[in-house]
Amino acid sequence: MRINFIKVYMLFFFISGCAVNNKHFTDKKNSNETPIKEHSTLAVLWQQNAAEYRALCHQAFNIARLRLDQFVTESKSNKPLAVITDIDETILDNSPYSVQLITNDENYNKGSWLEWGRRESATLVPGAYDFITHAERLGVEVFYVSNRYAEQLDETVNNLRKVGIDSVNASNVYLRVSESGKEPRRQKISETHEVVLLLGDNLSDFDHVYDGKNMSERNEYVTKMKTAFGQHFIVFPNPMYGDWESKGIYENKRLSEIEKRDMRHKKLRN
Ligand SMILES: [Mg+2]
């Protein structure tokens, strides 16, 4: 009886092991046939080349400027006014990092992201410099709330200064410390400032209701909050990555490359 039990137990582990190995093999075979980031090539090309991308960024900053002028004129707040902006794909263009992922046939990972950050070579999103300097001329303080890692603070400040944003200093840059949710950082800034505008490429840059939400919830909240966009929230295009992909398309799941491909096809609406 005991020997039979051991046999069944061993058989179970043998089968489990085969399943894992087969899946691993299939994934590897797939990655050899199609580079795992091949599907993002067009998105990166669009950001780097399409004049429409450039036009959308200028449009976003132009609306931000109009709103800021309006808030400065109309504000009755006792607190100084402030703008909170995200950094990546809002002020700095990291598309060369996405190119690196395509050419190296790898997914985003912390190691390569930190290495890219240390180069301090991200360029400006079109229109960013003019908007930041305009805000400063109006006496509006600019806070940078980003989910770059806390250890990236020095190179982030350096990168911003290299592209001409001389006024940036570490005390105005709030990076990710323990959690990716930005609400506590926004609250902290709101204690001393009247935050009139938020700029970002990811809905979580604007409100915590978007944190961790799936595709349909994200879309529902956008409809509910539709009057805030172009008013207090200024959205920038980012077709390369974001919660729209990880939490939306891939439903916040850890998926193999084949499962991701299937999920992408499944989400296409005919
Ligand atoms: Mg961003």
Distance CA 160, CA 140 (A): 18
Q: Is 198 helix (H, G, I), strand (E, B) or coil?
A: strand
Distances (CA, A) of 23 to 28, 49, 74, 96: 9, 37, 61, 31
Ligand 1 midpoint to CA 207 (Å): 14
Ligand 1 midpoint to CA 255 (Å): 23
Distance CA 156, CA 89 (A): 13
Ligand 1 midpoint to CA 65 (Å): 19
Ligand 1 midpoint to CA 29 (Å): 33
Ligand 1 midpoint to CA 76 (Å): 31
Write down the pLDDT at residue 216.
97
Ligand 1 midpoint to CA 7 (Å): 53
Q: Is 229 helix (H, G, I), strand (E, B) or coil?
A: strand
Q: Is 45 helix (H, G, I), strand (E, B) or coil?
A: helix
Which token pair is 14?
Answer: 């043998």
Ligand 1 midpoint to CA 4 (Å): 57
Q: Is 89 left (phi over 0), alpha (psi -120 to 50) or beta?
A: left
Ligand 1 midpoint to CA 202 (Å): 6
Per-residue pLDDT tens listing for the chain (270 residues): 454 544 444 444 333 433 333 343 344 445 457 889 999 999 999 999 999 999 999 999 999 999 999 999 999 999 999 999 999 999 999 999 999 999 999 999 999 999 999 999 999 999 999 999 999 999 999 999 999 999 999 999 999 999 999 999 999 999 998 888 999 999 999 999 999 999 999 999 999 999 999 999 999 999 999 999 999 999 999 999 999 999 999 999 999 999 999 999 999 999
Ligand 1 midpoint to CA 90 (Å): 6
Ligand 1 midpoint to CA 125 (Å): 11
Ligand 1 midpoint to CA 145 (Å): 9
Ligand 1 midpoint to CA 6 (Å): 53
Write down the pLDDT at residue 156.
98
Closest-CA residue to 37 (of 256, 257, 263): 257
Ligand 1 midpoint to CA 80 (Å): 25
Count of alpha carbons within 13 angstroms of residue 74, beta-carbon side: 7
Ligand 1 midpoint to CA 88 (Å): 4
Write down the pLDDT at residue 4.
53
Instruction: Identify the residue whose tokens are 């400032």.
Output: 193
Helix then strand then coil, in percent of the chain rounded to 5, is 60, 15, 30
Ligand 1 midpoint to CA 17 (Å): 40
Write down the pLDDT at residue 23.
40
Ligand 1 midpoint to CA 107 (Å): 17
Nearest 5°: phi and psi at 163?
Answer: -90, 10
Distance CA 233, CA 199 (A): 6
Ligand 1 midpoint to CA 257 (Å): 24
Sketch out the chain's domains with CATH numbers.
37-266 (3.40.50.1000)
Write down the pLDDT at residue 193.
98
Nearest 5°: phi and psi at 250?
Answer: -95, 5
Q: Please, which residues have CB less than 5 A from ligand 1, an ion?
A: 86, 88-89, 201
Count of alpha carbons within 13 angstroms of residue 148, beta-carbon side: 30
